[in-house]
Amino acid sequence: MNKFINFLSYKKISFISLPVLLALYFSLIINFPVLSELNAILSKLDSVKLGFIISIPVFFFAAFNFIFNLFSWPYLSRPIFTLLLIVSSMVSYAMYNYGVIFDYGMIENIFETDTSEATSYLSNYSVFWTMVMGVLPALFLWKVKIKNDKGAVHFIVMKMTSMAASLVIIAIIAFFFYKDYSSVGRNNSYLKKMIIPTHYMYSAAKYINNTYFAEPVEYQQIGLDARQSNAALATAQSKPTLFVFVLGETARAQNYELNGYDRPTNQYTRDLGLYSFQDVSSCGTATAVSVPCMYSALPKHNYDKQLANSQDNFLDIMQRAGISLLWKENDGGDKDVAKHIPKQEIDRNKQDHLCNGNTCYDMALLENFDNDVSAMKGNRMLTLHLIGSHGPTYYQRYPEDKRFFTPDCPRSDIENCSQEEIINTYDNTILYTDFVISQTIAKLKQLEDKYNTALFYISDHGESLGENGLYLHGTPYSLAPEHQTQVPMMVWFSNSFSKSKKINTDCLKHAAEKNSYSQDNIFHSMLGIMDVETEVYNSGMDIFSRCRN
């Protein structure tokens, strides 16, 4: 290695040849996931022009050469292209191995992740890929001599000539194959989002601008008239409501036994009288989108994160109405939906039977449960934010004694496990969440003499487990499979809760089995079930309203 590095030290390239080399590297190596996807698309067509196939890497090369020339300047080239090479190698890894597309939503999710979640994606394979594809080329960039020996005028003329040549090549390709590019692009619009580094750079720039430079939206309070109904206030004096909202993570509806899955993933709750809603869609395919959207009054088709963060959500309205709230966090962040209410975060740095110094099992959320409840006043809502089934380190979400489905996949580079192992590991996480829910219900049953108790569970989004070459989540919603957009939703009501809220359980059972819902319903359903009266409440969007006498 030292001999190779010393050898590079004697090599010399110009600022004109540098973009050419980088364009060649990005066209053939970094963008291999795009070329692979194009190969799969073209192989399904009845007939394809050979010239069109040959033109694709040439088109990429010309386009990249033009773009990279814009950044190939003395003192700027090395730091800019070093960052580009390393980040692009990471994007290439995720795209090729997991089918992840780095659009605005994915960039948003990356920026808002925490250290524990980020490190879960590290593996020997991912590090090796990044070293070979990103770090070594960057090392080459720093060791070779980049010079411009013939003066500034010659430098500018050669740069303009190179860029002009690129445009000519692109124009020639467009002249002969425009219809082919148009047809493939129109029928596979997601392809443009796969091109590295253009789309992820565009998405990152857009996110940074919207987050740090856009003019802030003035905060708007909504539901200023919010109050609890007289019946709810009277109940709070004698036997308060205790409602536990369990916010799941990365659970998909298709792997729930209560939804027809042929494996016993709900063996802890199947006999507890839960109502499992069979058709529920998420607002997004990533936590950063789904959670703020779910808590907001904004519907999915009109959702804007900046606007959602700049107005009250249903927690804020409940607090205004006098309901006592507490958020307990085990997933690295509440995405700002709990910024105005009391919040506890599980200390994942500790090491005990529930935590390993980096992550904690979700049973940690139930520690001090009774004390948390007793410290609240009146009618109460306690939110438990699970880490649930967050991947790719699924195996870290459940303890050894809950390792029911085997063989599982005890590693983060799940692409190197078999499909059976991945599904077993994921199903173990679903089963462990089921266990946590059953234990939460057990605690609620113990408190039934003091409170009218209820539990509501919903996941933020689903997950792909290798179907059609996709893993994890975050696929643009318009392209995402139902595995990422269909989520489990379950409710459990104690007898006293059903009675106090006048709930027709037969009606609720029918609604769960036959009706379709989405996370748009959550805002109004939570206000409704907690009997909060306000002008922003819409009974037509309340899951429970039609089943209350």
Residue 92: CB atoms within 10 Å: 23
Q: What is the mean pLDDT of residues 460-469?
A: 94
Q: What is the CB neighbour count within 10 angstroms for residue 311?
A: 18
Is 524 in contact with 515 (CB distance < 8 Å)?
no
Residue 3 is predicted with a pLDDT of: 54
pLDDT band at residue 7 using 50, 70 and 90 as cut-offs? very low
From 146, 171, 170, 149, select the one nearest 65 (Cα to Cα): 170
Q: Give the dihedral sign, CA 59/62/63/65.
A: positive
The conformational region for residue 336 under phi > 0 = left, psi -120 to 50 = alpha, else beta, is: left
Does the reported pTM lie above 0.75?
yes
- Which two structure tokens, joined as six digits, stand for 392? 């790719």
Calculate mean pLDDT across residues 332-346.
95
Q: Please tell me the distance from the alpha carbon of residue 55 to that of residue 227, in angstroms, as a whole number.
A: 66
pLDDT level of residue 149 (50, 70, 90 thresholds): low
CB-CB contact of 499 with 278 (8 Å)? no
CA distances from 246 to 78, 114, 260, 279, 437 (A): 48, 21, 22, 18, 8
Residue 247, phi then psi, degrees to nearest 5: -95, 110
Q: Could you tell me which CATH number the domain at 228-547 has?
A: 3.40.720.10
For 360-414, the pLDDT digits (tens) are: 999 999 999 999 999 999 999 999 999 999 999 999 999 999 999 999 999 988 9
Which SS3 state, helix, strand or coil, does residue 385 take? strand
Q: How many CB atoms are closer than 10 A to CB 266?
A: 25
Burial of 315 (0-12, 13-18, 19+ CB in 10 A): buried
When the pLDDT of each residue in the chain is averaged and rounded to a whole number, the result is: 93
Q: Where are the domains of the chain?
A: 2-212, 228-547
What digits encode the pLDDT tens for the residues 176-234? 999 889 888 888 888 999 999 999 999 999 999 988 888 888 999 999 999 999 999 99
